[in-house]
């Protein structure tokens, strides 16, 4: 099931399906290292302008990917072979030769730190004792038909230069689409604590109350299991956008707000 994770998972194993998931002191990832989370759902690009975290969901019905987070601020200029190195001073540093492009604010937090890509869509720097000293503000931006968001869970897109955009299943029962802290759209279903968002296999969104009553629906059923939902990016300063589309019905599109 592909949903956003509100909490942190346990420490990831050292090797992922598509590439390494843990960067230890003295080692580097380059633009050809192809590091990914243990499940392979999240992959990290090492570029001259910064780090770029992508999510790919692949089921029997749909295969689609998107960027979910980009390191800020973006570096200026170009670099032929950028490297992300886990340094002995505790910081993970993106550099090109002597040029420092980006770094985690973890210098001085431990000589045995590691940089990890987790299956919940977060990047973390962890000490040798397992304490997280830095985490990226990132998570899933995609959701496939047949999955759900439980109370407190969310989709999140922080890959642009503006504020993050998110879709949150609030614990009060309201489903809210945000641009930064501003709510751009919501289902007006507050007052039903414990409600969850259900994305049916037929391609319909439903806010379902704790006793099974449907409180809100998108009226988009019938487009099949190849349907996906994405928190999309609009230009900075405009609005958050929620898009639904179907691989098996190319002309189908549902957008909010």
Reading the block at residue 22, the tokens are 């843990």
pLDDT at 9 over 80: no
Nearest-angstrom CA–CA distance, 22 and 206: 38
**Each residue's pLDDT tens digit, 25-83:** 999 999 999 999 999 999 999 998 899 999 999 877 778 999 999 997 666 667 788 99
The pTM of this model reads 0.87
Please state the domain extents for the chain. Answer: 22-135, 142-256
Equal fold, 22-135 vs 142-256: yes
Greater pLDDT, 245 or 161: 245
Question: Which string of b and e fits 135-162 if b means at least 16 CB within 10 Å?
Answer: bbebbbbbbbbbbbbebebbbbbbbbee
CATH superfamily label, 22-135: Bulb-type lectin domain (2.90.10.10)
CATH superfamily label, 142-256: Bulb-type lectin domain (2.90.10.10)
| Percent of the chain with pLDDT strictly greater than 70 | 91
pLDDT at 24 over 50: yes
Query: Taking all residues of the chain, what is their mean pLDDT, rounded to a whole number?
Result: 89
Residue in the block written with tokens 């259900």? 198
Nearest-angstrom CA–CA distance, 174 and 182: 15
Beta carbons of 121 and 201 less than 8 angstroms apart: no
């Amino acid at each position: 099931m592909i949903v956003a994770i509100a909490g942190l998972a346990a420490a990831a194993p050292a090797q992922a399906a598509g590439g390494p998931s843990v960067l230890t002191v003295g080692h580097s990832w380059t633009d050809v290292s192809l590091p990914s989370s243990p499940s392979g759902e999240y992959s990290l690009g090492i570029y001259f302008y910064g780090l770029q975290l992508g999510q790919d969901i692949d089921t029997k019905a749909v295969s689609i990917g998107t960027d979910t987070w980009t390191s800020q601020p973006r570096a200026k200029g170009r670099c032929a072979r950028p490297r992300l190195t886990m340094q002995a001073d505790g910081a993970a540093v993106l550099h090109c030769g002597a040029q420092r492009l980006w770094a985690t604010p973890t210098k001085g937090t431990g000589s045995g730190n590691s940089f990890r890509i987790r299956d919940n869509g977060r990047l973390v720097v962890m000490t040798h004792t397992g304490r997280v000293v830095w985490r990226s503000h990132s998570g899933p931006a995609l959701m496939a038909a047949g999955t759900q968001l439980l109370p407190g869970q969310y989709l999140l897109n922080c890959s642009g230069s503006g504020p993050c955009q998110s879709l949150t299943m609030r614990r009060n029962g309201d489903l809210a689409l945000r641009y930064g802290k501003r709510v751009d759209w919501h289902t007006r279903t507050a007052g039903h604590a414990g409600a969850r968002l259900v994305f049916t296999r037929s391609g319909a969104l439903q806010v379902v109350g704790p006793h099974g009553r449907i409180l809100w629906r998108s009226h988009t059923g019938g487009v099949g299991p190849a349907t996906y939902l994405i928190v999309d990016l609009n230009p900075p300063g405009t609005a958050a956008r929620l898009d639904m589309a179907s691989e098996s019905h190319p002309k189908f599109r549902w957008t909010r707000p």
